[in-house]
Amino acid sequence: MTTITLETPVTGKYEQPVGLFINNEFIKGKKGQEFEVINPTNEKVICKVHEALEEDVDIAVAAARKAFASGSEYRTMSTARRGKLLLDLADLFEKNIDTLAAIESLDNGKSITMAKGDVGACIGCLRYYGGWADKIHGKVITTAEGTFAYTKREAVGVCGQIIPWNFPLLMWAWKIGPAIACGCTVVLKTAEQTPLSGLYAAKLCKEAGFPPGVVNVISGFGKTAGAAIANHMDIDKVAFTGSTLVGRSILKASASSNLKKVTLELGGKSPNIVFEDADIDEAISWVNFGIFYNHGQCCCAGSRIYVQESIYDEFVKKFKERAQKNVVGDPFHKDTFQGPQVSQLQYDRIMDYIKIGKDEGATIETGGERHGDVGYFIQPTIFSNVNHDMKIMQEEIFGPVCAIAKFKDIDDVLNIGNDSTYGLAAAVHTKNLNTAIKVSDGLKAGTVWVNQYNMLHWSLPFGGFRQSGIGRELGKAALENYTQIKTVSINMKGALF
């Protein structure tokens, strides 16, 4: 079976595709293998999905290549029509918002309110890129009389896209939107922990009228299906979101296969800086959201919190009170802010970091323990008395755990804030415009928020400095990932000699 009936508290019974979505059909893998999908809230098996192995990746790539061939329905479609595919897909996301959000809560464990927010952001993103499809063009460049030269932005071709489990549907939309706007075809691999929403969204692609082979969505593991994409000789570009470790292996695979273009959106250890002149209650609300949103499972999570020394004690006291009010529990309950971590593995990694923090001598202000008896729940955890060189201040934990330290002045906080191998995001809280601009200028990060946190938007480029990535997603910037420039230069003045 490639479609099964599942049930959620929001949707009641619904039809969930579980096959590999290739050529607009849900099919079984060649070897017939399946793997289990676990509900992180109760640790029980939700269902099994079909697993893509290397030979299935080959089949999906062949489908994407055929759809990309010149003369195909997709390649001969007007750019406006291609944009309309994304707009229609966005409409279908809107129509199915409750189901999509419920699948996300079931499979990932994020609260239904946050999941709906994710689907809303998917809709915005798909519409934004739908609008771009007929606005991507080159330039006429004058060099000398008698020469006519112009550039075109041509689609890169068949794109492999590998996405993580923390925002399964949003990462799907961030990847598919710009790829289709630019006229590429796609083989997208979801994360093995969270394959369900991506498959449901694939079904909606067919309903929106995408020609077969344009979007292929496969479930599978990183070491097999993911590596097969990264090493494939007939994939022109890979877009990856995930850990820095795997990002490195993707770049190596490109280098040792066909030098496919690579964009990487990787980890972070982002500083969130609070100056003494900030509105302390507002700042605490953003700092709380900065680290505990999505259970801390955000590449841009504000996990290093720096507070100016004169307000440090008051800040720690109030922040602790605020964090203790975060409702942790059943993702389907309307008041829940924080659900379970995505898997046993992630739960164990985070609890290990909490132990390391204690052993290193940091103080737990709140949290530090499992929440409840069942499910991968961890209490929101705040460490104080943290030294800059402690592991919990240096390494990405990817959970509801943060470290707070004091700073003296702008120079001091820029020094410690920038002392990291990462550079994805940062934030500064202050009422002083000069401070905001000076600190934003000085921070080595792809995004700096002022008096807010985690406020991503589809029209704003997002990506990392340093080891947080290569390239930018979202905004007009993402179009560069999926097009390549062709220069055409025409001689209009006859022979050279």
How far is 179 from 187, CA to CA, in rounded Å?
11
Binding pattern for the stretch 25-64 against ligand ADP, x by CB under 6 A and - elsewhere: ----------------------------------------
Of 13-21, 55-63, 238-246, 457-465: span binding ligand ADP (CB under 6 A): 238-246
One residue of 29, 40, 130, 242 binding ligand ADP per CB under 6 A:
242
**Could you say whether residue 92 binds ligand ADP (CB under 6 A)?**
no
Q: Is 282 a catalytic residue?
A: no
- The residues, ordered by sequence, that sit 6+ positions from 184 with a Cβ below 8 Å of its Cβ are 68, 155, 156, 157, 158, 159, 237, 482
How far is 201 from 176, CA to CA, in rounded Å?
11
Neighbour tally for 417: CB within 10 Å: 23
**Could you say whether residue 170 binds ligand ADP (CB under 6 A)?**
no
Nearer to ligand ADP, 149 or 356 (CB): 356
Q: How far is the CB of 129 from ligand ADP (least distance, A)?
A: 22
**Which letter does DSSP use for residue 71 in this model?**
T
Of 61-69, 92-100, 141-149, 245-253: span binding ligand ADP (CB under 6 A): 245-253
Q: How many residues bind ligand ADP (CB under 6 A)?
A: 17
One residue of 243, 257, 394, 451 binding ligand ADP per CB under 6 A:
243
Give the three-class secondary structure for 468: helix
Query: 104, 192, 265, 365: which is the annotated catalytic residue?
Result: 265
**Could you say whether residue 257 binds ligand ADP (CB under 6 A)?**
no
**Could you say whether residue 246 binds ligand ADP (CB under 6 A)?**
yes
Q: Which of 333, 342, 14, 337 is nearest to 195 (CA)?
A: 342
One residue of 178, 226, 268, 375 binding ligand ADP per CB under 6 A:
226
φ and ψ at 413, to 5 degrees?
-75, -30
Nearer to ligand ADP, 223 or 408 (CB): 223
Nearer to ligand ADP, 118 or 265 (CB): 265
How far is 209 from 206, CA to CA, in rounded Å?
5
Q: DSSP labels for 237-287?
A: EEEEES-HHHHHHHHHHHHHTT--EEEEE-----EEEE-TTS-HHHHHHHH
How far is 257 from 252, CA to CA, in rounded Å?
9
**Could you say whether residue 164 binds ligand ADP (CB under 6 A)?**
yes
One residue of 230, 284, 445, 474 binding ligand ADP per CB under 6 A:
230
How far is 406 from 309, CA to CA, in rounded Å?
5
Structure tokens at 293: 């949103």
Of 23-31, 51-59, 241-249, 275-283: span binding ligand ADP (CB under 6 A): 241-249
**Which letter does DSSP use for residue 9 in this model?**
T
CA distances from 270 to 130, 294, 305, 447 (A): 32, 15, 8, 10
Nearer to ligand ADP, 64 or 283 (CB): 64
When CB distances to ligand ADP are compared, the closest residue is 222
Structure tokens at 374: 């069942």
Of 71-79, 186-194, 318-326, 353-361: span binding ligand ADP (CB under 6 A): 186-194
One residue of 65, 82, 110, 189 binding ligand ADP per CB under 6 A:
189
Neighbour-count burial of 345, counting CB atoms closer than 10 A to its CB (0-12 exposed, 13-18 middle, 19+ buried): exposed
Question: 460: part of which helix (H) or strand (E)?
Answer: none
**Could you say whether residue 469 binds ligand ADP (CB under 6 A)?**
no
Q: How far is the CB of 22 from ligand ADP (least distance, A)?
A: 17
Question: 188: part of which helix (H) or strand (E)?
Answer: strand 185-189
**Could you say whether residue 222 binds ligand ADP (CB under 6 A)?**
yes
Of 125-133, 224-232, 323-331, 368-376: span binding ligand ADP (CB under 6 A): 224-232
Catalytic residue set: 265
Chain residues that interact with ligand ADP, rule: CB under 6 A? 162-164, 189, 191-192, 221-223, 226-227, 230, 242-243, 246, 249-250
